Amino acid sequence: MRRRLLAALPILIACAASSAAAQQPARIANIGWLAGCLEMRGANRVVEEQRMAERAGTMLGMGRTVGAKGLGDYELTLIKEEDGRLLFKAHPSGQPVATFTARVATQDSVLFELPEHDFPQRVGYRRIGSDSVLAWVEGTMNGKQRRIEFPYARVPCPAAR
């Protein structure tokens, strides 16, 4: 009996650690990999995101979409820890501010949700290696599920001129 208990001990410890990690609040330190510059290039548009590294529990960011006719869209973002939660505050061009709450935040992915928002209801990022990030927005629009993906490449941040 004692031998079986000793053999099961590593499994019990691993399960307890996993359960404790799942109950800990999402920390901004987990998503430090979002800092820097990301870019997605298409035939007729460029989508960029740039985010500052964490300082004082916050990460400031901005994004823009530029096409043949110039600036198509822009957004300012703030990711911050508040009351044990990780929040993503989006300030999109021409729209009201929306504050999403992280449901998952790991060393490789983060998913923010705001179920009552029109579209999107979820904003996600997943790190893919050291040189790319898959971002997406998803939810219900006009009664249909929709998901828009942004396969970003990590690029050097532009220098001031």
What are the sequence ranges of the domains in the chain?
Answer: 27-155
**Backbone region of residue 142 per phi and psi (left: phi > 0; alpha: psi in -120 to 50; beta: other values):** left
State the pLDDT at residue 24.
Answer: 55
Task: Please give the pLDDT value at position 26.
Answer: 74
- For the chain of 161 residues, list the mean pLDDT of each consecutive stretch of 10: 45 42 70 97 96 97 97 98 96 97 96 97 97 98 97 93 75
pTM of model > 0.85: no
How many Cα atoms are found within 13 Å in the side-chain-facing hemisphere of 54?
14
Residue appearing with tokens 């729209």: 95
**CB 40 within 8 Å of CB 17:** no
Question: What pLDDT does 68 receive?
Answer: 95
pLDDT at 12: 38
Q: Is 130 helix (H, G, I), strand (E, B) or coil?
A: coil
The amino acid occupying position 141 is M
What CATH superfamily is the domain 27-155? Answer: Calycin beta-barrel core domain (2.40.128.20)
